[in-house]
Structure 1
Amino acid sequence: MSVTLTSSAADHIHKYMEKRGKGLGLRLGVRTTGCSGMAYKLEYVDEPDQDDQMFESEGIKIFIDPKSLVYLQGTQLDYAREGLNEGFRFTNPNEKATCGCGESFTV
């Protein structure tokens, strides 16, 4: 099972990478934090780590470390704007619950 991007997320990432002037793709991972236990982390990749698993979606390469992949398989990343708010949204079939503020999740 892979990790995918919506066209909106891919467009946003592509524009930002062009603005940066460099980058191979996006690293998606999880870290331990928050009231529910885990939070998503995103960063642009200039050089992949040796153990990274790579997926490609909508023309964007997505890099994930093996420990995070267990929690992220099947996740779709979207980018949305609603009024003054904008940002990435994760649709993760592995999530069992999220915290009230929406910053962390549990599987």
Structure 2
Amino acid sequence: MEYIFEEDVETQTDHVLNHGDFKFLIDMSHMPYIEGMKLDYVRDGIQERFEFINPKVNYACGCGTSLTFDMSEGEKEYLGG
């Protein structure tokens, strides 16, 4: 699994978070993975980036595109596993 930012069209299965000029669309099936996550915008000199702080991640590769999660039993049942 990975975090992806891309332009999309809102659907009935999306959870919508409005934040000023930004609207985040999150497919409801992904909510158990990101509940409790903090998204931070970081400026460091001339570099700017989003930083994901997710207490459910138990492994992330160095580049941050490959993740594994530590899910509760209830969350696993909700996800069908």
TM-score (norm 2): 0.65
| Deviation of the 1:83 alpha carbon | 2.7
Instruction: Kindly indicate whether residue 11 of structure 2 is the aligned counterpart of residue 49 of structure 1.
Output: yes
In the other structure, the counterpart of 1:94 is 56
Please state how far the C-alpha of 1:96 moved relative to its aligned partner: 0.9
Encode CA deviations 1:12-65: one digit per residue, 9 max, x unaligned.
xxxxxxxxxxxxxxxxxxxxxxxxxx21011244x41111112344x3432210
Q: Which has more strand, going by share of residues? A: 1
Cross-structure match for 1:83: 45
Provide the residue aligned with 2:3 in structure 1. 40
Alpha-carbon separation, structure 2, partners of 1:101 and 1:42: 15
Runs of 4+ in 1 over 3 A off after TM superposition: none
Q: Which runs of 5+ in 1 are unaligned?
A: 1-37
* Matched letter for residue 4 of structure 2: K
With CA pairs under 8 Å and 6+ residues apart, which has the higher RCO, 1 or 2?
A: 1
Q: 1:67 aligns with which of 29, 33, 51?
A: 29
2:2–2:64 Cα contact (<8 Å) kept: no
Taking structure 1 as the reference length, the TM-score comes to 0.52
- Say which SS state the counterpart of residue 71 (structure 1) adopts: helix
Judging changes above 3 Å, is the alpha-carbon distance between structure 1 residues 101 and 48 closer, same or farther for their aligned structure 2 residues?
A: closer
Whole-angstrom CA distance in 2 between matches of 1:49 and 1:84: 36
Q: Which runs of 5+ in 2 are unaligned?
A: 70-81
Secondary structure of 2:6's aligned partner: strand
Match of 1:106 in 2: 68
Aligned length, in residue pairs: 68
Over the matched positions of the two proteins, sequence identity in percent amounts to 40
